[in-house]
Amino acid sequence: MSIGQGGPSWGPGDTQTPDWAALAEESEARGRRRKLLFIGGGVLATAAIAGIVATAVVTSNKNSTSNDKNASQLPAPATLPSESGGPQPTFSSVAPRPVLNPKDFISSAQKDKAPLNAGTLFPGKKLTMGNRPYTKGATNRTTNCAAVAQGALGSVLKKNGCRQVIRATYVRNGVSITVGVAVFDTEAAALKAKSQASGGITPLAGSGVADFCHATVCLRRANSIGRYAYFTQGGYANGKKVTLKDKPVFQASDDLGTFVFNQIYARGRTQASAAATAPTS
């Protein structure tokens, strides 16, 4: 008996016993066909993948060729000019002048050549320090330095080579003060006169200022800058003795000392500026 094509097959004699050998051959045949199909499919898939890769390579090469072609068509970079058409900067071969120190000009008679008198040191009729105005009284200039000094100051000025003394007196609110500027050839001589100072400058009366600092206690001070030593003596116009608590006298002494310092330093600054701008030979 046979049931359809591809169905089970029975052996001779129709004993209803399956032919196991035939069934095994048929199963093996189906397995071989299935394997061949799998292998064939794998080959086809591999071929398809290879085709895709080949297509991608061809496309990439085409794009690369196209990019190379486009790159070759790009404009060349601009060439910068080697030299500018305008005028070239020039630099002076002359070295700049050194900065001059004002103190150098007031420290030696060889450099300090500006006019020097009571009018240049004490100009005008008044001076103001801060908000404190002072009225100028008499002025005086002498080459006899010892004659305008009190106590041992006269001999100190003389032995250190004092060339001249210029004095001026100022008054404010009942306080009178004289400042005297002693002029030497060198800074060293002025420093010695300041350090050795004893006694004081003689007060200068006149031009509306009465005598002061006679037979009483007054404030005396000494200082120097460059080749100049300067001395102050101040007190009350009514003869009152000066004590450490008398701030107006100390303030007047500070103000006049600062004023003289500034005046002398200004001499150096003016001469240094003139030397710096003078034409060179």
Q: Is 219 within a domain? A: yes
Each residue's pLDDT tens digit, 172-193: 999 999 999 999 999 999 999 9
Residues 23 and 117 placed together within one structural domain of the fold: no
For residue 50, give its domain range. 12-67
Share of the chain above pLDDT 90, in %: 62
H-assigned helices in 73-186:
102-105, 118-121, 153-159
Q: Do residues 114 and 263 make contact, with C-beta atoms less than 8 angstroms apart? A: no
Does the pTM surpass 0.75? The reply is no
Tokens 């000019």 locate to: 81
Token pair, residue 72, equals 């070759």
Share of the chain above pLDDT 70, in %: 64
Residues 134 and 52 placed together within one structural domain of the fold: no
HSE-CB for 43 with a 13 A CA cutoff: 6
Q: Is 117 within a domain? A: yes
Residues 188 and 242 placed together within one structural domain of the fold: yes
Q: Is 233 within a domain? A: yes
Residues 118 and 62 placed together within one structural domain of the fold: no
Domain tally, the chain: 2
Residues 183 and 60 placed together within one structural domain of the fold: no
| pLDDT at residue 35 greater than cutoff 80 | no
Q: Do residues 209 and 176 make contact, with C-beta atoms less than 8 angstroms apart? A: yes
Range of 14-18, 31-35, 52-56, 168-172 with top mean pLDDT: 168-172
Return phi, psi of residue 46, to 5°. -65, -40
Q: Is 1 within a domain? A: no
Maximum Cα–Cα distance for the chain, whole Å? Answer: 176
